[in-house]
Amino acid sequence: MTRVSLPATALSAVDFGAPAAERDIDRGLEDYFVESEAYNRVRLGSRRIVIGARGIGKSAIFQVLARREREAGSYVIELSPEDYSYELLNQTMASEDHGSWAKLGAYAVAWKYLIYVLIMKEVSKKKTHLKKGAANGIYRYIRDNHSNPQASKLSALVSYLKRLEGIKIGKYEASIKARELEKLYKLEEIHHLVPSLKEIASSRKIVVLVDELDRGWDSSEDARAFVAGLFQACISVNSVHDNLRVYMSLRQELYDDVPELYDDAQKYRDLIETLRWNELSLLKLIARRARHSMPALAAVDDETCWDSIFASLPGPGACGSFRYMIDRTLYRPREIIQFCTQAIECCRESNSVIPVKHAAVREAEGVYSAERAKDIAAEHRFQYPGLISVLEAFRGRAQSLDREELEFLCLELITGEIPSRGTSLWLNECTQHALIEILWNVGFLRAEAVQDNTEKKLGSGPYLGVYRVLHNNITATRCFQVHPMFHAYLDIGSAGPKKVSRSKTG
Ligand SMILES: Nc1ncnc2c1ncn2[C@@H]1O[C@H](COP(=O)(O)OP(=O)(O)OP(=O)(O)O)[C@@H](O)[C@H]1O
Ligand SMILES: [Mg+2]
């Protein structure tokens, strides 16, 4: 193992950056950004819908793309959380059962309208760039219809929806209703301006980025139609011109929570980028951040960078501290950044020096593990409310469980013999198999990898999490392990597989 010996002051200098890309962008993200294949596919426009779990790097891609496109002179429009409020939509729009007004289609066309209006506003701002003819119509349209500087970014969408709603559930004669609706669905108001937009796009790229759709997500009828409608609008506007690019990001659970979206997504799989990381790329990510804050590490490789900051684990045959820490993540950048930052903080608090010792890492693990358990439960609060109390049922148990033990524990949870809170909407309906599947999908359980050598002892093989396998069929898995990320929080033992006691108290 090679290591750069750093001065005593290094501990105060080391900085792994902010855990969310929106804040990280001003702390050096552009400089230490890892340009993955996924990023390149998005940058080149072959993928325009970015899907991934929390903290996996969706916003990082959008933030860096926006900066670089602006620098290259493209028109860039960014939509972010302050711009949408599901609560407001719920309060403003009539519900579906108030009249058959097919919300999804209405939201899709309203999104298209909004995207075109936002692009035209942006283009009109830089009037000097506009060629006469093509752009003049656009400029006049914006001046005459959307000149209110106080209007929120989303106001064009809401007003368009209101127009549709008014006609759909209003009392009009059928033929008038049909005619008016057709005009709205065909975007008649701006249809004649689309060729001009194409002309502008042919000489200057237009990039629209819609991120953080999950902020304030309430799984309501409007929220679902809002997201699924955006998906449709995104597909439609993207077909206008290759230089007119609409990107959207979606959190994995939100994608799973909107069936309308899932049906559409099957048809457009080739446009979707699902983000994933592995050990090597995560080590690279951390090393680049370390070098950014400590120029003394500028010329060394990723492993040396790590070993200069974190001491190896004590004991014979111990694995490296990177392996220890990465094993306690679901392979998401935010997790390793948070764990490393917490370890540095613990090291500072104990007035220790770099390299960070294992004691500081273990202390950090306590805080990190508790935060992650709560975050994971919060991430899935719409699909599986009360998940945290299901996880609590594993408190104090062994790390590994064979299928029979696990099924028994799940059954106790389902029947209420082990009580849980706030789970009545979903847990009672589960079978043991379904509950195991849920715990696997949220990352709480890891499955023992299938072994070639069937003679090997049960529970002796490596365990893999859902984030590390492409085909997640666990029906044949014989042995499971609670993911090490949760061990510290749930006081889960360090011994190998051992029988769980079949007590009723859990
Ligand atoms: N390619 C990358 N290179 C460097 N840092 C990255 C990269 N991807 C993500 N990160 C960093 O990881 C952290 C989490 O990323 P980000 O905020 O983009 O996650 P997200 O997927 O948008 O999460 P959320 O769903 O919570 O919005 C941030 O600090 C971000 O800067
Ligand atoms: Mg984000």
Asked if residue 355 has its Cβ within 6 Å of ligand 1, the reply is no
Q: Are 423 and 384 in contact (CB under 8 A)?
A: yes
Asked if residue 57 has its Cβ within 6 Å of ligand 1, the reply is yes
Q: Is residue 27 part of a domain?
A: no
Atom of ligand 1 nearest to the CA of 35: 1
Asked if residue 38 has its Cβ within 6 Å of ligand 1, the reply is no
Of the residues 274, 307, 336, which one is the last residue of a structural domain? 274
Atom of ligand 1 nearest to the CA of 288: 4
Give the per-residue pLDDT at 496: 44
Q: Are residues 431 and 479 in the same domain?
A: yes
Q: Which residue has the tokens 């000489």?
A: 203
Q: Smallest Cα–Cα separation from 185: which of 90, 102, 94?
A: 102
Neighbours of 356 (CB within 10 A): 23
Helices 103-125, 155-169: axis angle to 10 degrees equals 140
Q: Are residues 369 and 440 in the same domain?
A: no
What are the backbone dihedrals phi and psi of residue 301, each rounded to the nearest 5 degrees, phi first?
-75, 175
Give the per-residue pLDDT at 343: 98
Q: Which of 16, 43, 58, 291 to mutate to test the pocket of ligand 1 (most atoms within 8 A of CB)?
A: 58
Of the residues 242, 274, 306, which one is the last residue of a structural domain? 274
Give the per-residue pLDDT at 90: 65
Atom of ligand 1 nearest to the CA of 22: 17
Asked if residue 42 has its Cβ within 6 Å of ligand 1, the reply is no
What is the whole-number distance in angstroms between the Cα of residue 215 and the centre of ligand 2? 9
- Its domain, for residue 490, covers 387-505
Q: Smallest Cα–Cα separation from 284: which of 9, 39, 7, 66?
A: 39
Give the per-residue pLDDT at 133: 66
Q: Are residues 173 and 252 in the same domain?
A: yes
Q: Are residues 353 and 206 in the same domain?
A: no
Give the per-residue pLDDT at 332: 97
Of the residues 349, 379, 409, which one is the last residue of a structural domain? 379
Q: Is residue 22 part of a domain?
A: no
What is the whole-number distance in angstroms between the Cα of residue 212 and the centre of ligand 2? 5
Q: Are residues 253 and 329 in the same domain?
A: no
Q: Is residue 14 part of a domain?
A: no
Asked if residue 271 has its Cβ within 6 Å of ligand 1, the reply is no
Give the per-residue pLDDT at 497: 43
Asked if residue 58 has its Cβ within 6 Å of ligand 1, the reply is yes
Ligand with an atom nearest the CA of residue 254: 1
Q: Are residues 299 and 342 in the same domain?
A: yes
Asked if residue 24 has its Cβ within 6 Å of ligand 1, the reply is yes
Give the per-residue pLDDT at 82: 63
Ligand with an atom nearest the CA of residue 23: 1
* Full DSSP string of 269-312: GGGEEE----HHHHHHHHHHHHHHH-GGGTTS-HHHHHHHHBPP
What is the whole-number distance in angstroms between the Cα of residue 217 and the centre of ligand 2? 14
CA distance 310 to 339: 12
pLDDT in tens, 419-477: 999 999 999 999 999 999 999 999 999 999 865 555 556 555 688 887 777 666 788 88
How many separate domains does the chain show?
3
Q: Which of 36, 61, 334, 337 to mutate to test the pocket of ligand 1 (most atoms within 8 A of CB)?
A: 334
Ligand with an atom nearest the CA of residue 252: 1
Q: Is residue 104 part of a domain?
A: yes
Query: Which residue's CA is minimally distant from atom 10 of ligand 1?
Result: 57
Distance of CA 158 to the CA centre of its chain: 26
Q: Are residues 370 and 454 in the same domain?
A: no
Q: Is residue 9 part of a domain?
A: no
Give the per-residue pLDDT at 500: 46
Residue 218 tokens read as: 């309430």
* Full DSSP string of 434-479: HHHHHHHHTTSEEEEPPPS-TTSPTT-S-EE-GGG-SS---TT--E
Query: Which residue's CA is minimally distant from atom 30 of ligand 1?
Result: 21
Ligand with an atom nearest the CA of residue 292: 1
Q: Are residues 235 and 115 in the same domain?
A: yes
pTM assigned to the model: 0.91
CA distance 51 to 255: 8
What is the whole-number distance in angstroms between the Cα of residue 19 and the centre of ligand 2? 10
CA distance 374 to 382: 14
Q: Are residues 174 and 39 in the same domain?
A: yes
What is the whole-number distance in angstroms between the Cα of residue 293 and the centre of ligand 2? 23
Asked if residue 254 has its Cβ within 6 Å of ligand 1, the reply is no
Tens digit of pLDDT per residue, the chain (506 long)? 788 888 878 999 999 999 999 999 999 999 999 999 999 999 999 999 999 999 999 999 999 999 999 999 999 999 875 656 666 666 666 665 555 567 888 999 999 999 999 999 999 887 655 556 667 889 999 999 998 877 888 889 989 998 988 887 777 777 887 888 899 999 999 999 999 999 999 999 999 999 988 877 777 888 888 899 999 999 999 999 999 999 999 998 888 778 888 777 778 889 999 999 999 999 999 999 999 999 999 999 999 999 999 998 876 555 689 999 999 999 999 999 999 999 999 999 999 999 999 999 999 999 999 999 999 999 998 889 999 999 999 999 999 999 999 999 999 999 999 999 999 999 999 999 999 999 999 999 999 986 555 555 655 568 888 777 766 678 888 899 999 999 999 999 854 444 444 443 33
Give the per-residue pLDDT at 309: 95
Q: Are residues 211 and 82 in the same domain?
A: yes
Asked if residue 20 has its Cβ within 6 Å of ligand 1, the reply is yes
Give the per-residue pLDDT at 457: 61
What is the whole-number distance in angstroms between the Cα of residue 380 and the centre of ligand 1? 19
Examine residue 355 and say whether the peptide bond preceding it is cis (omega within 30 degrees of 0). yes
Q: Is residue 5 part of a domain?
A: no
Q: Is residue 3 part of a domain?
A: no
pLDDT in tens, 328-384: 999 999 999 999 999 999 999 999 999 999 999 999 999 999 999 999 999 998 889
Asked if residue 212 has its Cβ within 6 Å of ligand 1, the reply is yes
Q: Are residues 111 and 192 in the same domain?
A: yes
Q: Is residue 494 part of a domain?
A: yes
Q: Are residues 78 and 225 in the same domain?
A: yes
Asked if residue 21 has its Cβ within 6 Å of ligand 1, the reply is yes
